[in-house]
Structure 1
Amino acid sequence: SLSSSGAKKALSIIRKHRLWETFLVEKLNFTWDEVHEVAEQLEHVESDKLVDQLDLFLSFPKVDPHGDPIPDKNGELVEEHSKVLSKLPVNSSCVCVGVKDSSPSFLKYLDKNGIALGNRMQILEKEEFDNSIHIQIQDRRLHLSHLIASNLYVK
């Protein structure tokens, strides 16, 4: 396990990484599948003032574009209590709040199928054979594999 100074440094890097991802998506029109590599480079900026101003400029976001919590200036991390979509019963309504897998291929799949954070979904049916699920998002019905449904966080 990390020492307290190691944990503080790790949270600082996580904070910078997630703030930069948010900035790239919200202000520079990157897609959520493009931001990780660029944020990896930007997270090593040492200026606390720059990071604090970035946080202010973005109006102190609580989560990044993938739904992951952003630590505050003091390193406090507010964990959202969410579940994976695959665990919910039929007829459940929920909102997509994050992704477990933030790989570009998964994020592109979600974009292609119109699945985004904030989408309200209803579980219509579950297939016993392969645990895939049928959901409704607005007026669209989608059939999701168990793997896809297991990588979507919902509330």
Structure 2
Amino acid sequence: MDPAELTPVAQDYLKAVWSLLEWVPDGEPAKASTGRLAERLGVGPSTVSEAVQRMSEQGLLVHEPYRGVGLTDRGRGYALVMVRRHRILETWLVQQLGYAWDEVHDEAERLEHAVSDRLVERLDALLGHPVRDPHGDPIPTPDGRVVRPDAVPLSVLDAGESGVIARISDADPADLRFLAGLGFALDVPVTVTARLPRRDVLALTWSCDGAQRGAEIGARPASRVWVTRA
């Protein structure tokens, strides 16, 4: 599928819906609320409602009142092309140009509408065909396959449980900077040593540069970190 057939706005909506649904835990509804979609795209609810209605008529989205927004098979195909572009561009910006975690998302957002599929595949080959982006999100294959790690939010682990960091969400740049400052990175082992429910805080230990570190972090930044259980 060629995303050039769509407007940049439509491309953004399809990618945003995919991204909101990608890490929804099993058993939860696979629909994105219009409110979350508006927050993700930085626009007003009325703007989202109009766009969703238009894209539903085009056969790209499915909207069920009070249940949320999903992708049609056609919309999913376009979304995966845009997600692949975005994540390959993020990987290139970090690995080849030295961008920081919290800088790459907005830069890739601008570039993804302008690059050709040919350039994306050249970048993919240059990078050695990476399977995940700098935040741990899986990069769809050219034929649309996505292999998501069997990971859960760090915030759901009980005291004494351990895991290996598989993903750090880029939804909030401030949280990304905070976690990076602590030394959190992909493939780092981390252990929940205690849960402090009254303060909604987790006490953690993890490895960084060969040394053990420890800190207490709140539930929100902890929810940005996904781990595969040890």
Give the TM-score, by structure 1 length.
Answer: 0.92
1:151 pairs with 2:224: yes
Q: Do the aligned partners of 2:159 and 2:192 also contact (CA within 8 Å) in 1?
A: yes
Matches within 5 A, 1:1-155: 1=62, 2-138=71-207, 139-155=212-228
Residue 46 (structure 1) shift = 4.8
Q: Alignment partner of 2:193: what SS?
A: strand
Q: Alignment partner of 1:80: what SS?
A: coil
Classify 1:19/1:101 alpha carbon distance in 2 versus 1 (closer, same or farther; 3 Å): closer
User: Which one has a bigger Cα radius of gyration?
Assistant: 2
Q: Partners of 2:171 and 2:126 in 1: how far apart? A: 25
What whole-Å deviation, never above 9, does each CA across 1:56-93 have from its counterpart, x for those lacking one?
11111111111111111011111222100111111112
Classify 1:57/1:140 alpha carbon distance in 2 versus 1 (closer, same or farther; 3 Å): same
Residue 130 (structure 1) shift = 2.4
Classify 1:145/1:122 alpha carbon distance in 2 versus 1 (closer, same or farther; 3 Å): same
What is the Cα-based RMSD across aligned positions, in Å? 1.5
Give the TM-score, by structure 2 length.
Answer: 0.64
Q: Alignment partner of 2:199: what SS?
A: coil
Q: Partners of 2:198 and 2:170 in 1: how far apart? A: 24
- With a CA cutoff of 8 Å and minimum separation of 6, indicate the structure with the bigger relative contact order: 1
Classify 1:74/1:45 alpha carbon distance in 2 versus 1 (closer, same or farther; 3 Å): farther
Classify 1:128/1:3 alpha carbon distance in 2 versus 1 (closer, same or farther; 3 Å): closer
Structure 2 alignment gaps of length 5 or more: 1-61, 63-70
Q: Do the aligned partners of 2:102 and 2:170 also contact (CA within 8 Å) in 1?
A: no
Q: Which moved more, 1:98-107 or 1:27-36?
A: 98-107
Aligned residues: 155
Identity of matched residues, %: 36
Residue 34 (structure 1) shift = 0.2
Residue 31 (structure 1) shift = 0.3
Q: Partners of 2:192 and 2:173 in 1: how far apart? A: 25
- The aligned amino acid for 1:83 is V
Q: Which moved more, 1:144-153 or 1:15-24?
A: 144-153
Structure 1 alignment gaps of length 5 or more: none
- The aligned amino acid for 1:77 is V
